[in-house]
A and B are shown apart, each in its own frame.
Chain A
Amino acid sequence: MAGGAHRGGGRWGAPHSPAPPGPRGCPVPLKAAAQSLCRKPTWGQYCTLLLFQRKLEIYSVEHHAATDIKKKEGRDGKKDNDLELKRNQQKEELKKELDLDVSLQFAFVLFVFQGLSSTRAAELLAQNGPNALTPPKQTPEIIKFLKQMVGGFSILLWVGAVLCWIAFGIQYVSNPSASLDSVYLGTVLAVVVILTGIFAYYQEAKSTNIMASFCKMIPQQAVVIRDSEKKVIPAEQLVVGDIVEIKGGDQIPADIRLLSAQGCKVDNSSLTGESEPQSRSSEFTHENPLETKNITFYSTTCQRVFRCTATGMVINTGDRTIIGRIASLASGVGNEKTPIAIEIEHFVHIVAGVAVSVGILFFIIAVCMKYHVLDAIIFLIAIIVANVPEGLLATVTVALSLTAKRMAKKNCLVKNLEAVETLGSTSIICSDKTGTLTQNRMTVAHLWFDNQIFVADTSEDNLNQGFDQSSGTWTSLSKIIALCNRAEFKPGQESVPIMKRVVVGDASETALLKFSEVILGDVMEIRKRNHKVVEIPFNSTNKFQLSIHQTEDPNDKRFLLVMKGAPERILEKCSTIMINGKEQPLDKSMAQAFHTAYMELGGLGERVLGFCHFYLPADEFPETYSFDSESMNFPTSNLCFVGLLSMIDPPRSTVPDAVTKCRSAGIKVIMVTGDHPITAKAIAKSVGIISANSETVEDIAKRCNIAVEQVNKRDAKAAVVTGMELKDMSPEQLDELLANYPEIVFARTSPQQKLIIVEGCQRQDAVVAVTGDGVNDSPALKKADIGVAMGITGSDAAKNAADMILLDDNFSSIVTGVEEGRLIFDNLKKTIAYTLTKNIAELCPFLIYIILGLPLPIGTITLLFIDLGTDIIPSIALAYEKAESDIMNRKPRHKKKDRLVNQQLAVYSYLHIGLMQALGAFLVYFTVYAQQGFRPTSLFHLRIAWDSDHLNDLEDNYGQEWTSYQRQYLEWTGYTAFFVGIMVQQIADLIIRKTRKNSIFKQGLFRNKVIWVGIASQIIVALLLSYGLGSITALNFTMLKAQYWFVAVPHAILIWVYDEMRKLFIRLYPGSWWDKNMYY
């Protein structure tokens, strides 16, 4: 490659055409030549180097997704035609995007040494933008804010406010001295909407901020050659054509074509889902850019392998990288409404429907009763205000954010507040295996020596290795494990627990190193004592690793040859086997025993290694013998087989429990992994995703010794489906599979297939949670009802697409999330029931005022003081309520049947408790009037006289005469009394809402302290309004006599008793008529 730029004529990295002329060491004329050669507008920046271009189409499962969409549309029928058109366009675009225009450039070696000039780099950077994935488009803040302003009930209240102003306008035109009351009311309504909107926006923003701070990661650095100098720059500033150096453990900073590489392996899991490291070199090996060895991709990682270095040229940056393109697919997947958003919408519709229809009904009645139209409009507004729980949506937001905070403490970080509940309604979890269910590190699980299988401890700390270590074979085996290993601890970690230390080396070697460190102690010291004279590292052709050591025994001058590798390869090289520390000839029966053990361990899905050793005879190989790894001037056959050792990425210890919990909570856990089916199945079995007694079709076939086809599929509870099988399945077949098997493992799936699986689950009406970490998971994460990204191993793209982030990557955190989600759903029910109840007590006064002509029992503004004053903290307090014992033992809610606000809740709140409350409040009201001289009977149809400003000598039942203002003041006292009546009964309402089924006394009256804070706040606010602000007339509160505060107490007690009775009957007669009608 030296001395010229080359044109690849159809093969990657197979240069064969000469470079354009240009003096050595002087790239400038070359640049000019290249630019003149290929001036391509969009890819102009490539021209410096672009000498070879190639179009590639990457096959991707997104095509499946696209056809899937089409099929679904077909079912939806005509009305979605427009949508279909749009989607088709989208699909085309999608496809176009997949025609990856991967351009490869080959440059002078000279150029490799010099790199780009910093000016050129700056130009390119300005042209192409930074090397970073564009985050998904954020909704502008102002839109978010406006959404809060018009969302929910706001629109209704705006209409009310505007009607108020219009009413005043009309009044003003006919009578300039019209009272300003309706202007006040309109303004108050507007202020209420704006304030609650600001509040909700602030809450939302606050939780988003937590997210933002989390996402801001330490900027990635890249070593780049520019201006003939090595520089460390932020990876964001990389441009096409930069020469970068990569070493083990680095994340690949862009799409890079390797120019030179040594012993490098990359982990492409974020791209393909395969966690098996793939080696990379500068050789071109495949037409497909994903397969060829000389290209590494953005966001994949270079394995932390000993002495891995590579140099490469950046060929694509930022969104133009393959990962960038795939990530952008995620934005093509629609964002579904969260279940709780649907529930809240449903609830808003119910309440707004009731408010508007009652309002209009009474508007018509009022007009028919010869009320002035303007008055009728004011009634309409009052009825709407009374019906709308103004503070509720803000309360819901607070409740959700409280749960979000609680979940964050339990390592579930929620990006979107509404996702808090989604987890609770989840009915299927599609979980990753690696890292989520497992510890994400290879660990020694089994050993086989002395013709016996030993079990090693695979728990997280790994310290309790209790197998029998007395055998001489173990002594030899442990020596091989310690010596035949290139992995090393990074220095300076003596104080770190062994399992947490950072190791340089691949996964298996790391596992072996840690294993031997735990058992033998300081491995480095052992290696020092047994000086290594030569070694042959593992490679894929040999399939073994070998090293020769001097022994630590000063009297033993023999060299020790140790070897490990693929068991069958190792066995081939052996003629003897060590049993109980003694060498024995390797006869047929021993070989058979070996095979049985090997199959058994392999069947557990574990990676098995064989170990053997050989003491080189001292006479043939004296101390001075010069070993050569190239010519292999030492024996590699007739060795002594010592043992087998198998490794697995073991499940996290908390996972089996969590899976059991999920199962009892009616959640189906589906494992989706890129791993081998056997391993996947083994892990699934060990964590309980496939329960101990269930079998797959294959298992049954094997047990009964019949062909797979003969097995009755209904007998199998579990299924292990590979990506290949999935590829051939029609959506109907997938539906059938998902519906019929309670335990499913998908293995060898590509991350794109996750999308298909998720869609399949969603067709079952399930609420699907998906975990993922790779960039390629992002479409599935987005598609899922709740996407859960891994906080530690997750890529930015996955985190962007997800609704929730597991900070500890631990599956059991999802389960706690589910619990919190269910709890908040229950508690929101309670909150809403609590809030809706008083609506009737607020509504009745207006209805009675209109129909029966009583002096108005409670004013509109006073109502707002209940909705936004006394009731706020109590309704939030219900969010702190503990679960009613059975939360994780019931099925997940059906998203279309188990509504947040169901008929029972509305009926019970409105027609039972609400009505009782109204009666109680009326009692206080009547008491106040009666004790001041207006007996209840005299109040009926008193309205016109009462409200007349000019009537200043209205006679009461005792012959006293009242001026208009005196009556007004009495009316305000009535408001205060009615207000206090509602408040007192709301205390009882709050207490009864603590549970829906259990007795309050079982739940514990004092367990939730916040409830008492709520009750105290109710009383304090009411006291302040009555006694503190009693002189502010605009608020219509007066100082209420102390005894009136207690008038409604009997009603409050009645509410409590009635509700206890309701709960008692529900518990006594489950499934009865009472249960069906009274349980909400």
Chain B
Amino acid sequence: RESFQPEPGEWKRFIYNPTSGEFLGRTAKSWGLILLFYLVFYGFLAALFTFTMWVMLQTLNDEVPKYRDQIPSPGLMVFPKPLSALEYTFSASDPSSYRGYIEDLRKFLKPYTLEEQKNLTVCPDGILSEQKGPVYVACQFPIFLLQACSGMSDPDFGYSQGSPCVLVKMNRIIGLKPEGTPRIECIPKDENVASISTYPNNGIIDLKYFPYYGKKLHVGYLQPLVAAQVIFSANSTKKEVTVECKIDGSPNLKNQDDRDKFLGRVAFKIIARA
């Protein structure tokens, strides 16, 4: 088998062979040719790929994705987003522990302020606001609907009182038309530890915010929100609760899927330290 293991000298000669002027088995001319070949070949491939991608992009519509079959039903998500998992840890006595949350909330609710909504339409309650275009209008979502969690009366969104607000929102899906009267229902795991208040009352999501027509067409669209305020019982020593929220009251919005734990529902945990 010795023939298959080149001698050290052979390696050296392979790297540079002074007699034939070969470097790594090829002469300069050969290297030049091969590099030129690959330059041309890969240039051609790149151009070709770009072209096919361009053709593919031509099949797309700027306003609406071609297919929406992979997101038939919306997920639920909470806001603000904790750093890790869905666990809100804060201490009412330590403002720095929740400053991040309220800053996020303020930023998030900025478009919902009344000044920002001036140009939006006031839509009739309880019915879908279907539109034909070409201009699509967005419905107002008055921030006061969130009541105690609107940040208007309490700039700390209840965190300083130990009753934090968490916004629950339904994922935007283009063309989704909920049936019935969708509402978000939040239940604490242990009712002795805490109770939940939802705003707007009953966690109603009004149908007038549907359907959504997409980022490009539906300029200024405001996603309906539901705020959940966790109020710990005064007599409970444990200040830790898991809250489960889910969409209810609409037959076409699923809230139970074995694999997707966020399809029409969301669970989060509030840990209030002393």
Contacts and interface: CB of A to CB of B under 8 A. Distances in A.
Interface in A899-930: 911-912, 915-916, 919, 922-923, 926-927, 930
Contacts of A930: 56-57, 60, 66
Contact of B172 (A912, A960, A965): A960
A919 B49 contact: yes
Contacts of B75: 952-953, 961-963, 966
A81 interface: no
Contacts of A957: 65, 215
Contacts of A958: 63-65, 174, 214-216
Interface string B230-274: 000000000000000000000000000101111100100000000
Nearest to B38: A911
A824 to B, nearest CB: 22
A935 B215 CA distance: 14
Q: With a 10 A CB-CB cut-off, give which of B30, B53, B85 has the most chain A CB atoms.
A: B53
Nearest to B52: A923
B80 interface: no
A953 B65 CA distance: 17
Contact of A912 (B41, B173, B262): B41
Interface string B70-81: 110011110001
A896 B1 CA distance: 11
Contacts of B41: 912
Nearest to A76: B2
A74 to B, nearest CB: 14
A346 B3 CA distance: 12
Nearest to B63: A958
Contacts of A1050: 52
B59 interface: yes
B34 A953 contact: no
A919 B70 CA distance: 25
Contacts of B37: 1077
A973 B45 contact: no
B13 interface: no
B48 interface: yes
A931 B67 contact: yes
Interface residues of B, number: 54
Contacts of B64: 958
Given A927-B56, A1077-B34, A932 B48 contact: no
Given A923-B53, A932-B70, A1041-B67, A960 B174 contact: yes
Contacts of A22: none
A966 B260 contact: yes
Majority SS at the chain A contact face: helix
B261 A953 contact: no
Contact of A961 (B57, B60, B81, B173): B173
Contacts of A970: 70
Nearest to A934: B65
Nearest to A1038: B70
Interface in A1038-1066: 1041, 1047, 1050-1051, 1054
B84 interface: yes
Interface in B48-103: 48-49, 52-53, 56-57, 59-60, 63-68, 70-71, 74-77, 81, 84-86
A923 B65 CA distance: 17
Interface string A482-522: 00000000000000000000000000000000000000000
Contact of B171 (A342, A923, A963): A963
B261 A965 contact: yes
Contact of B262 (A952, A959, A973): A952
Nearest to B85: A950
B263 A963 contact: yes
Contacts of A885: none
Contacts of A963: 75, 77, 171, 260, 262-263
A931 B65 contact: yes
B218 interface: yes
Nearest to B2: A76
6 contacts: A912-B41, A923-B53, A952-B262, A953-B77, A961-B171, A963-B77
Interface of A: 76, 337, 342, 346, 896, 911-912, 915-916, 919, 922-923, 926-927, 930-933, 935-936, 950-953, 955-966, 969-970, 973, 1033, 1041, 1047, 1050-1051, 1054, 1073, 1077
7 nearest A-B pairs in the assembled complex, by CB-CB distance: A959-B215, A963-B75, A961-B171, A965-B260, A933-B65, A931-B66, A953-B77
